Amino acid sequence: MPYKQFDRKKLVLESLNARRNKQRIEFDHIPVDRKPSGQSAGAKKTITETILKIKKARKNGRPVMLVFGAHTVKNGLSPVLIKLIEDGWVTHLATNGAGIIHDWEFAYQGQTSEHVEENVERGRFGAWKETGFNINIAIIAGAYHGLGYGESVGAFIENGGVDIPSREQLKKIICSNALSDPGKSAAAADLFETVKTFSLKPGRISVTHPFKKYSIQAAAYRLKVPFTGHPMIGHDIIYVHPVNSGAAIGRAALRDFLSFTNSVSALDGGVYLSVGSAVMSPMIFEKALSMSQNLAIQKGKHIDNHYIVVVDLAKSEWDWKKQGEPPMDNSAYYLRYCKTFSRMGGTMKYLSADNRDFLLSLYQGLSSR
């Protein structure tokens, strides 16, 4: 007998207008010309080396991947990331589900980051109509159109909404593709279920994003730069809203993982930047690199000439190559990062720095003559 499920349709959802937020993008964004805080000689050396590696990689047509945690968005670094892709220095962006949400909320209302403790106590945490409905519908419709997770939300922001087909159109696609293209049929069925359950009318769902210029996802979609989202079921507030579709989430997120892996497969001679992501980044990278090595080995090759920079606030001076396995009392963040990345071949550098200082220094160094 199946386990009982919680009924999300019984939840009382509130408007974002009723929510207090910690960050306001107009006041908290980081201008690209802001001077970084003082850094150690070691940090400056690593950043200088990273700048040279990126310049060489782009000169040779190799990828530069920037994978970041949600705090990179919350800290107002969108202008810096947007310039990095506009100027062609970064060729692939990736974040977790929370990064997707914070970027959308900034674009939609100019604010993000609710007060978690007080809202959990009141049963309000994550129970917001606009965030839950809009991001979910963007992903469900995006999956129907063959888009990935981040691409779906980026398109939703950039285009100011999404078009919803009629039930008749969806029925026709479901039936006509059931045998020839079952994936397309299933994606149409996911959207049909949403349209029917929530009585959505066919046509345009228009959503204005007054702060779109701060959206990294919208910029990536506009510039055709891969922006992939790597969520985990139940980790993000969009799962609170009843319109959420696990099937569509899985469809879009899997597409993004395979897009991510495609970029990793070309990483020989490229650069991988992991900024403030102690779990998601090393976990997806190790699978993607292993898959890529599998194909490379079949061709008599091996991906070895890649440069990895891991950035976090945690301090550590441990040298894996010289000192081996670190003691158990070493930094937990550093252990997570380095235990994974040290096995990934290539050259790895760990840098203890604020993500604002690192990315500002990186962009300013790349853009200077």
Local structure of 270: helix, strand or coil: coil
**Is 178 a domain residue?**
no
Please give, one letter per residue, the 3-state secondary structure of 271-333. EEEEECCCCHHHHHHHHHHHHHHHHHHHCCCCCCCCEEEEEECCCCCCCHHHHCCCCCCCCHH
Question: CATH number for the domain including 243?
Answer: 3.40.50.10690
**Is 1 a domain residue?**
no
pTM recorded for the entire structure: 0.92
User: Which residues, 6 or more positions from 245, have their beta carbon under 8 angstroms from its beta carbon?
Assistant: 136, 139, 140, 190, 193, 194
Return the half-sphere exposure (C-beta side, CA atoms, 13 A cut-off) of residue 349.
20
**Is 206 a domain residue?**
yes
Query: What are 169's two structure tokens?
Result: 């159109």
Condensed to tens digits (0 to 9), the pLDDT of residues 49-93 reads: 999 999 999 999 999 999 999 999 999 999 999 999 999 999 999
Condensed to tens digits (0 to 9), the pLDDT of residues 292-337 reads: 999 999 999 999 999 999 998 776 555 555 655 555 444 444 555 5
**Do residues 64 and 52 lie in contact, with contact meaning Cβ atoms separated by under 8 Å?**
no
Task: Provide the 10 A C-beta neighbour count for residue 328.
Answer: 7
- What does the pLDDT read at residue 163? 97
**Do residues 258 and 124 lie in contact, with contact meaning Cβ atoms separated by under 8 Å?**
no
**Is 305 a domain residue?**
yes
State which residues of the chain have pLDDT below 50.
328-333
Q: Report the distance separating Cα 30 and Cα 9, nearest Å.
A: 39
Q: Report the distance separating Cα 229 and Cα 94, nearest Å.
A: 6
The phi and psi torsions of 66 (rounded to 5 degrees) equal -120, 110
**Do residues 67 and 264 lie in contact, with contact meaning Cβ atoms separated by under 8 Å?**
no
Query: What are 2's two structure tokens?
Result: 């199946």
**Is 144 a domain residue?**
yes
Extract the runs of DSSP E, i.e. beta strands, from the chain: 21-24, 64-68, 92-95, 111-114, 161-164, 203-206, 227-229, 271-275, 307-312, 347-352
CA distances from 188 to 174, 183, 192, 193, 328 (A): 6, 9, 6, 9, 50
Number of domains in the chain: 1
Q: Report the distance separating Cα 306 and Cα 268, nearest Å.
A: 5
User: Which residues, 6 or more positions from 259, have their beta carbon under 8 angstroms from its beta carbon?
Assistant: 148, 226, 228
Domain, as residue range, for 77: 9-165+202-367
Query: What are 157's two structure tokens?
Result: 């922001």
Degrees to nearest 5, angle at CA 275 with 322 and 116? 125
CA distances from 213 to 62, 117, 157, 170, 186 (A): 28, 31, 10, 34, 34
**Is 319 a domain residue?**
yes
* Pairing mode of beta strands 92-95, 111-114: unpaired
Task: Provide the 10 A C-beta neighbour count for residue 41.
Answer: 7
Q: Report the distance separating Cα 90 and Cα 106, nearest Å.
A: 22
**Is 285 a domain residue?**
yes
**Do residues 111 and 24 lie in contact, with contact meaning Cβ atoms separated by under 8 Å?**
yes
The phi and psi torsions of 89 (rounded to 5 degrees) equal -80, -35
**Is 184 a domain residue?**
no
Q: Report the distance separating Cα 311 and Cα 51, nearest Å.
A: 14
